[in-house]
Chains A and B, each alone.
Chain A
Amino acid sequence: MNYVTGYYTTRFGELWDKSLFDLVEEAMRGVLKQNNLENKQIDAVFFGNMLAGVLENNLHTTSKIAEILKVNIPIFRSESACASGGVAFNLAKAYLEANPNKNVMIVGAEKMTDYSPEETITGLSAAASGEEQEAGLTFSGLYAMIANFYLEKYHYTEKNLAHVSVKNHFHGTLNDKAHFRRTITSDQVLKSPYVAYPLKVLDSSPISDGASAVIMTNNLGVVKKQKYSVSVLASEVATDTISLKERKNIDEILSTKIAGNLAFKKAKINRSEINVAELHDCFSIAELLAMEDLGFWKKGEAGKKIIEQSTMFGNGGDLIVNTSGGLKASGHPVGATGIKQIGEIFLQLTGQAEKRQIKNAKYGLAQNVGGSGGTSVVTILGI
């Protein structure tokens, strides 16, 4: 069995005084300190990052990490657009399964606010197919096409989508590390300007800076010395066509469905046993699809179910979603997101989630998506 024993995240937001590697360093040192581990006790590092190649002209980040840590160990970088962090975690788990008694560190980071929005949006468009980019489609444009299709098919309106952002912004107020820590109303969501019709600014996750790191180990000696540990019950990656148009169903993320089914099978638990989930709400529509594609709600029902706000903290529901604030309010430093999601589940399962702590959480799930659904990672942790 593999265990997560520590988690540290920087604040997410517009961190103008910090570079990409300032953030990476803070996250790595933070998590090592928390677990009382020396640099030399780490056997490998996995780094999740999307845009350093495009925005920073840096495609040898692994060596930079070696320089910071003053180590000569294997270091790997994973890039799968916004699923880069989740994929890094999955690769780290596979590494541990091949190497007994090792400690690995998984760090995800992104520096996005050094550039104009257009430059960052162009960089993010690298997650889409060439044809999509050539048609002038942005990342938000692709999710907008999904949203438009979903709303028309199931007879919902933009109002149904707005509830996702209202909930996640409320959760953001309970998380000191979140990019946005203020509540919003559905009226404010509906009155915010369009990014790509029918999605508006307040349906969309922000452009953020940040870094998050976790320690995973299969060394029981190390686990015993730690105050907190959770078991990694499953981490599954699934892929699909990069182009939205090549998919059979536009109103589902098939890669999430596949990864989710595999993860539940591996973890040997039922969906009803999940108490807390971090879902990839890059846009409001994405959380609704995730609830359906992971089998928590029936297909086409999420637009209606979200109105009840049963997944909001404090409403007494059996499953609380995106206690970190989700990508919407916690922020979305692309490469860090997948690690922050797993870290949030770790905090919840070990009773460290402070103001947003869910009572008696035993199992948690994180779903991390790349592009418009070309990659999904579903991770299940248990106490």
Chain B
Amino acid sequence: MISPVKIWRRQKEIRKVLGKKGKILTWTKIFTPGSDFKKYAPYPVVLVKLENKEKIYGQLVDCEEKNLKIGQEVISVLRKVRASSEEGVIAYGIKFKPMK
């Protein structure tokens, strides 16, 4: 379950990993999501190894099919990650877009 407090607590951590470059370690495209993500399907999710070796998950946005490959260089960006909660708080989080 999601709550405004949880969103607030998580968002304090997000700025630390914004604008970071890395490479796709592995990826998938989700066709059958859970309830919260149903309206976005299908959507690609990537596991990225950042330049500092840290590994982060995120959806890949602003991309074409050809960008969905292991080794693709990407950069982390701030995006809305799910529909707003009943309290109206919008959850933002990390997604990735391909580097040109």
A residues neighboring B (CB under 8 Å): 116-119, 121-122, 125, 131-138, 140-141, 144-146, 148-149, 152, 193-199, 244-246, 250
Contact = CB atoms under 8 A, between A and B. Distances in A.
Nearest to B32: A195
Given A118-B34, A138-B33, A144-B28, 4 more contacts: A121-B33, A135-B81, A136-B43, A199-B28
Contact of B45 (A116, A117, A119, A137): A137
B35 A145 contact: no
B36 interface: yes
A244 B37 CA distance: 20
Interface residues of B, number: 30
A195 B45 CA distance: 13
B27 A136 contact: no
B28 A148 contact: yes
Interface string B63-100: 00000001000000000011000000001010000000
A244 B47 contact: yes
Contact of A132 (B10, B42, B57, B91): B57
A148 B26 contact: yes
B15 interface: no
A145 B27 contact: yes
B74 to A, nearest CB: 14
B55 A246 contact: yes
A136 B32 contact: no
A134 to B, nearest CB: 6
Given A118-B38, A244-B47, A196 B25 contact: no
B47 A134 contact: no
A380 B27 CA distance: 35
A133 B37 CA distance: 10
